[in-house]
Amino acid sequence: MCPSPGTDGVDRGYVIPIGGAEEKLSNPTILTKFIELCGGKQSRIIVIPTASKLEDTGQRYVDLFHELGAGEVVSIAIETRSDAQRDDYLEELTRADGVFITGGNQLRLSTILGGTKVAQAIRRLNAQGTHIAGTSAGAAIMPEHMIVGGGGGSTPREDGVTLAPGLGLTNSFIIDQHFRQRDRLGRLLTALSFNPFVTGIGLDEDTAAFIDASGVFEVVGSGAITVVDPGNLEYSSMGHVRSGDAVTLIGLHLHILAEGARFDSRTRIACMS
């Protein structure tokens, strides 16, 4: 699934995956930057709490965004696939400067939103300039391919990851979250071994990639982003290993990028700002 076609003369909005557990009180750098991108006091932000089973998740983010200086903030309670077809929710989305997708269970998110009018609207709005942010499960669902599950550990294994279709806001990256905290290098490497076309990004908690319209991202937050670039991969054993076996990958390029560093998905070059 490729991102929706853009509009001539209009830059795509930012795509902002967050590694989860973003700071909300003492130094909310990520959320503050998102609000500023959306227009600050003039912004209109829609919160989608679908991934969470907690009834107050949407309202907590509404209150938080107001406290951080956002203008109008609305949570739309999409609990079923029929909710994701509602005209009033689609109307709310069409007037958004930014959309924020909360954390929770990414399969709950994809099975409710996937293929619906709301999912189509999010893709279309991003192509027309609306900024889309998501934390934890909300980050995982952003690319064309979504990491759903897999064991911890640093070694890629034949059965080390489960994938499902994502929203398709980018087809340049595959994203994993809570990365260092939950030791997820192995499952990201496994995902890349299936088809080393995309770049893998592993987001630490309280860390975000602000991906611009040209496919360049800047790191924001207190942790780091692990970038795994398979562009010059020389060899992968994934095609013939037995179930559960470790996978050999030769020629990967790895970067550890902290706040202020950048990565260009087109040139595959990392640098400091």
Q: What gap in Å lies between CA 98 and CA 132, rounded to an integer?
A: 6
pLDDT higher than 80, residue 1: no
Tens-digit pLDDT profile for residues 108-141: 999 999 999 999 999 999 999 999 999 999 999 9
The CA distances from residue 222 to 95, 131, 186, 203, 264, in Å, are: 32, 22, 23, 11, 21
Q: Give the DSSP H or E segment for 31.
A: helix 29-38
Tens-digit pLDDT profile for residues 24-80: 999 999 999 999 999 999 999 999 999 999 999 999 999 999 999 999 999 999 999
Catalytic residue selected from 22, 92, 205, 218: 205
Among candidate residues 197, 194, 185, 198, the one with its CA nearest the CA of residue 156:
185
Catalytic residue selected from 178, 193, 218, 265: 178
Among candidate residues 45, 30, 37, 49, the one with its CA nearest the CA of residue 12:
37
Is 136 one of the catalytic residues?
yes
Share of residues in the chain with pLDDT > 90 (%): 96
Q: Give the DSSP H or E segment for 30.
A: helix 29-38
CATH number of 15-272: 3.40.50.880
* 3-state SS assignment for residue 189: helix
Among candidate residues 196, 195, 187, the one with its CA nearest the CA of residue 251:
196
Query: What residues does each domain of the chain span?
Result: 15-272
Catalytic residue selected from 110, 136, 236, 265: 136
Among candidate residues 170, 125, 134, the one with its CA nearest the CA of residue 13:
125
